[in-house]
Chains A and B, each alone.
Chain A
Amino acid sequence: MSDRNEIANKTNDSGATANTNAGNNANARPIAPAVDIFEDAAGITLLADMPGVSRDSLDVRLDGDALAVEGRVELQLPEDMRAVWAEVQAPRFRRVFTLSRELDAGRIEANLKDGVLQLRIPKQAQAQARRIEVRAA
């Protein structure tokens, strides 16, 4: 998962123009959002911190087995504002995850609330664990 994430970020990097102006970070390398990922019997849940991303600026895309989560930070800024301090240095989030085959990508549910994205990726019905009866011979 993480290897894929690295590769994805690199390809993205080479396409972007070099950013030299600290005041205009539109082309800065997007931030990989912090995530929690856990699995239960029926599927995988992914929580991602994407503060400032609204429903309209969120993009969850599936390309083959690559699930890309992307979002733009929407802030209404006064025109004459200049940055004094910046810990968040890009107005964009992006992270790519590779799904494995037993997951049912067609039934992914996405939910965005207060800047936290929740994705629910169910397992294919036949992939759910089932107990195998051991019969005494």
Chain B
Amino acid sequence: MLETMFARPQGIFDQLDAMHRLLSRSLGVEGSPGTIRSVAQGAFPEINVGRTAKSLEVFVFAPGLDAKSIDVVVERNVLKVSGGRTSGIPRSDNNVQLYANERPEGKFVRAVSLPDDADTARVEANYKDGILRVSIGLVEPAQPKRIAVK
């Protein structure tokens, strides 16, 4: 019963955890510096990028969006993903008490600079279970060509 007597919107451990997350995020993966476009505070949504021989795979962890409202744009070798979401909290209801509000809400934009060998004409985007997956084709690496000296 004690828990319900004292409303603790955010416990101290939650705050420490959030701070730690923020710090490790702004520093990039394992302390390496982040890129210029990824330093946004507590960036939402989070992004993972993988590379295969044929494509670049960008995973945007954006739960709770309407697939139609997500905007994916490639411009000058920069991939931009934008959208927005509203929280499900009934704020207008005075009888509702809020205990935790960690989920980001509102509009967002995130950008990823693409490598030089990205083929911006071959981009596919797919939204499933809260992850937006963008596949960008890669152009075949140019084979070194020997020029005969006459």
Contact = CB atoms under 8 A, between A and B. Distances in A.
Nearest to B85: A116
A39 B99 contact: yes
A100 B25 CA distance: 34
Contacts of A118: 88
Interface stretch (B62-70, B71-79, B140-148): B62-70
Nearest to B135: A78
Query: Which secondary structure dominates where chain B touches chain A?
Result: mixed
B89 interface: yes
A38 B62 contact: no
Contacts of A83: 48-50
Contact of B64 (A81, A84, A89, A115): A115
Contacts, number: 147
Nearest to A5: B13
A22 interface: yes
A95 to B, nearest CB: 11
Interface size class of A (residues with CB under 8 A): 35 or more
Interface in B33-61: 38, 43, 45-53, 55-57, 59, 61
Interface of B: 1, 3-4, 8, 10-14, 17, 25, 29-30, 38, 43, 45-53, 55-57, 59, 61-65, 87-90, 93, 95-104, 112, 127, 129-131, 133
18 contacts: A36-B89, A37-B100, A38-B90, A49-B64, A49-B130, A50-B63, A51-B129, A51-B130, A52-B129, A53-B130, A75-B131, A84-B50, A87-B25, A87-B48, A88-B48, A102-B1, A115-B62, A115-B131
**Sorted from nearest, which 7 A-B pairs have the closest CB atoms?**
A115-B130, A2-B11, A115-B63, A51-B130, A34-B102, A87-B46, A85-B49
Interface of A: 1-3, 5-6, 22, 32, 34-41, 45, 47, 49-54, 73-75, 77-78, 80-89, 98, 100-102, 113-116, 118
